[in-house]
Amino acid sequence: MASHKETAQQVVEKIGGAKNVNQAWHCVTRLRFNLNDKDKVEIEEIKKINGVMGAQFSGDQFQVIIGNHVSDVFAEVEPLVGGAVSGDGEKSGQKQSVVSLVMDFISGIFTPILPALAGAGLLKGFLALFTTVGWLTTESDTYMVLNAIGDSVFYFLPFSLAVSTARKMRTNEYLALIVAGTLMYPSLIEAFNAIEGGGPDTLDFLGLGIINIPLLNYDTSVIPVILSVILLKYVYDLVKKVMPSAIQLMFAPMIAFLIVLPLSLWLIGPLGTNIGNFVSDIFNWLFEFSGLFAGLLLAGFMPLIIMTGMHYAFAPIAITSLATLGYDNMVMPMMLISNAAQAGAALGVAVISKNRQMKQLGLSSGISAAIGITEPAMYGVNMKLKKPFVLALVSAGILGAIAGWYGLKAYTMSGIIGIFALPVFADPAGESVSLIVSIVLFALAIVLPFILVLIFRFKDIEEDTTASTQPKEEVAKAKETTTEATGKEIMVQSPLKGTIVPLAEVSDQTFSQEIMGKGIAIEPEEDRVVAPIAGTIMVFPESQHAIGLKGDHGEEILIHIGIDTVSLKGEHFNGLIKEGDRVEVGQPLVEFDREAIRQKEIETVTMIVVTNTAEYLDVLPINADGPIFEGEHLLSLVK
């Protein structure tokens, strides 16, 4: 598997380079790009990059599916594309459709605040759970403190949205915060609350009786602050354009405020509130009219919606529903069931697949999907095998129909919908039925596709032991060369489990420049090294960090665990052999503590080098990168 840095470099190169990136950001599993020229994208080549699960255009937004390590890869993308991340890139010259623009805009606003929504929502869910089982009372001081922590993100949501919208619009974030602060100003909220006591429901701005500002409560609101910040961006830019630069610092913000904020309170805020309520009412009506049918469609087709990246468009609907009704019976219940169904199908693959890599991926991605991150299971397992994906859709549709018919509700927001989000289905009133139903449906959503996969099975992928970045013809040609030269092939097996790293990428030049000889490196995933060949231990220093073997066919192999590990003087290593010992293939040689070594900021990448390379026509790695298991064919020595 390639390093995150290498993956990032290849992705940026294949999308046309940094100059082609207008804007870049990421969500839970994907890199997302707005590009200046989408014709420069080498999409098929990007799909072949190690660490990439898939790539696609959603409208005019380009998405690269990475999976659980997306934030690590994006951290390497960010310095490569520079200003495009913060919004200083050039404007795209390509015209986007209205739908593409809206979807792109919404996802760009909501993805940065997902961690806050996920953390706070989960805390509120646990609070509801604790009150349901009687561990806390709503009158206790502990509840008051924890509720303030969990509720603050939602109550002050306009501030978070103001910042993320400003970043998306490439305008000053601190000016945007003033917009949110005005909408949320305490005296305006107090005036709104006083309406029930007979107070006025409007404010007469300027005292002319013309501009009557409706009093509304904008806490937890979504659309009003977004529309207001958009207006702020254009007004502020226009003011700066016509104003002398010498007085811009003070007067440009003031004039922008005087234009934008009264308009926001008078027109934009009420308009945004009405739009949000209207859209939410439509979906609520659909579920009230036929929850069974709506649940069937939304849960069944949710993976297809996720594939396009359009699921973020549901975030404002869920938030508005929570603010106005106190619950969400659409988005989160259906995503919970859909995500669990993808998990169940992937786990079914893990049980019956005979492909070792697919079994491992099915297990890991199934667990990930159960937590709420489905792309690894969808792209890496279920869609690749086709039938498990279809069975997951069918299962989700059936159970989504049941959830819609019952009226399953989430009572707070959660950024990632999976097993740890179950507490958000606990009714704050203390009723336990909703929570129990959500747990039962979640479990069924895993079990049903799991059983269906076991029953209907699928066409398994044959294990490819010669997979590499080299074309298969080249591998075959290399083997032909071996046969022509000697009539046999000397094989070196992998001494440990991990991910392959090309020797040229190792930071120690002694190895990367092949001074010691040709070979390969592996980043270990387990804490032991076994014999890759049958032979004799020729070198085993007191530091125990390296082993030199001489094989029965004359091959000389050096296994060097880590870089500069000699400085540890044997600490964290446990040798199981000594010089002169005879060893067989697969026999354990050394045990070591990876984490302890890494905590000392020492690399654990392990080099396997043929030190008598000069005696061979060539030393060929079977796999140039990707996962490798202990005992797999690692190197071929051409005599």
Averaging pLDDT over each range in 19-33, 40-54, 231-245, which range is the top one? 231-245
Tell me how far apart the terminal alpha carbons of the chain are, to the nearest angstrom.
Answer: 29
Asked whether residue 560 is assigned to any structural domain, the reply reads yes
pLDDT above 90 covers a percentage of the chain that reads 27
Poorest-pLDDT segment among 482-491, 560-569, 596-605: 482-491
d(CA 4, CA 72): 6
Residues spanned by the domain of 539: 472-638
- Look at residue 48 in the predicted model and tell me its pLDDT: 85
Say whether both 424 and 514 belong to one domain. no
Number of domains in the chain: 4
Does residue 100 contact residue 61 with C-beta atoms inside 8 Å? yes
**DSSP letter (8 states) at residue 328:** B
- Look at residue 473 in the predicted model and tell me its pLDDT: 45
Say whether both 451 and 491 belong to one domain. no
Listed residue (173, 24, 165, 13) closest to 88, CA to CA: 24
User: Is 27 known to be catalytic?
Assistant: yes
- Look at residue 1 in the predicted model and tell me its pLDDT: 47
β-bridge partners, 556: 550
Asked whether residue 98 is assigned to any structural domain, the reply reads no
SS3 (DSSP) at 271: helix
Cα separation values, 216 from 84, 196, 204, Å: 37, 12, 14
Higher pLDDT, 314 or 432: 432
Residue position matching structure tokens 């008078």: 266
**624 conformational bin, left if phi > 0, alpha if psi -120 to 50, beta if neither:** alpha
Q: Is the pLDDT of residue 23 over 70?
A: yes
Strands (E) across 308-377 are located at none
Spell out the residues 6+ positions from residue 218 whose beta carbon is closer than 8 angstroms to its own: 158, 183, 184, 224, 225, 269, 273
pLDDT 10s digits, 42-92? 988 898 888 887 787 766 678 888 876 777 888 888 888 865 554 433 344
Does residue 276 contact residue 267 with C-beta atoms inside 8 Å? no
Per-residue tokens: 24: 């870049």
Say whether both 276 and 192 belong to one domain. yes
Q: Which of 456, 480, 515 is a domain's end point?
A: 456
Q: What letter represents residue 594's amino acid?
A: R
Asked whether residue 100 is assigned to any structural domain, the reply reads no
Poorest-pLDDT segment among 313-317, 319-323, 595-599: 313-317
Q: Is the pLDDT of residue 471 over 90?
A: no
Q: What letter represents residue 450's amino acid?
A: F
d(CA 335, CA 349): 21
Torsion sign across C-alpha atoms 96, 99, 100, 104: positive
d(CA 517, CA 492): 15
Q: Which of 62, 93, 124 is a domain's end point?
A: 93
Say whether both 451 and 526 belong to one domain. no
Asked whether residue 108 is assigned to any structural domain, the reply reads no
- Look at residue 84 in the predicted model and tell me its pLDDT: 55
Cα separation values, 471 from 467, 491, 618, Å: 9, 20, 18
d(CA 419, CA 216): 37
Listed residue (549, 629, 634) closest to 589, CA to CA: 549
Say whether both 299 and 278 belong to one domain. no
Asked whether residue 574 is assigned to any structural domain, the reply reads yes
313 — pLDDT class (breaks 50, 70, 90): low
* CATH number of the domain residue 568 falls in: 2.70.70.10
Say whether both 309 and 372 belong to one domain. yes
Q: Is the pLDDT of residue 626 over 90?
A: no
Per-residue tokens: 523: 């980043």
Say whether both 123 and 262 belong to one domain. yes
Does residue 310 contact residue 402 with C-beta atoms inside 8 Å? no
pLDDT 10s digits, 411-427? 887 767 888 888 889 88
Class of residue 133 by CB neighbours under 10 A (exposed 0-12, middle 13-18, buried 19+) = exposed
d(CA 47, CA 593): 35
Asked whether residue 465 is assigned to any structural domain, the reply reads no
Say whether both 183 and 271 belong to one domain. yes
Q: Phi, psi at residue 508, to the nearest 5°?
A: -85, 115
d(CA 372, CA 613): 49
Q: Is the pLDDT of residue 602 over 50?
A: yes
- The predicted model gives 504-527 an average pLDDT of 85
Asked whether residue 167 is assigned to any structural domain, the reply reads yes
310 — pLDDT class (breaks 50, 70, 90): low
Averaging pLDDT over each range in 215-224, 439-448, 462-471, which range is the top one? 439-448
Higher pLDDT, 363 or 618: 363
- Look at residue 258 in the predicted model and tell me its pLDDT: 94
Say whether both 190 and 221 belong to one domain. yes
Say whether both 634 and 583 belong to one domain. yes
Residue of 27, 416, 529, 610 with catalytic role: 27
Say whether both 206 and 83 belong to one domain. no
Spell out the residues 6+ positions from residue 427 whose beta carbon is closer than 8 angstroms to its own: 128, 132, 409, 411, 433, 434, 435
d(CA 348, CA 597): 37
- Look at residue 68 in the predicted model and tell me its pLDDT: 63
Does residue 393 contact residue 341 with C-beta atoms inside 8 Å? yes
Say whether both 270 and 167 belong to one domain. yes
What pTM was estimated for this model as a whole?
0.53
Asked whether residue 462 is assigned to any structural domain, the reply reads no
What is the chain's mean pLDDT, rounded?
Answer: 83
What does the angle CA 597 – CA 603 – CA 607 come to, to the nearest 5 degrees?
115
pLDDT above 70 covers a percentage of the chain that reads 89
Does residue 464 contact residue 633 with C-beta atoms inside 8 Å? no
Cα separation values, 229 from 163, 233, 323, 375, Å: 9, 6, 21, 32
Q: Which of 456, 486, 519 is a domain's end point?
A: 456
- Look at residue 591 in the predicted model and tell me its pLDDT: 92
Poorest-pLDDT segment among 107-111, 158-162, 366-370: 107-111
- Look at residue 311 in the predicted model and tell me its pLDDT: 64
- Look at residue 543 in the predicted model and tell me its pLDDT: 87
Full DSSP string of 279-294: HHHHHHHHHHHHHHHH
Torsion sign across C-alpha atoms 319, 325, 327, 332: negative
* CATH number of the domain residue 59 falls in: 3.30.1360.60
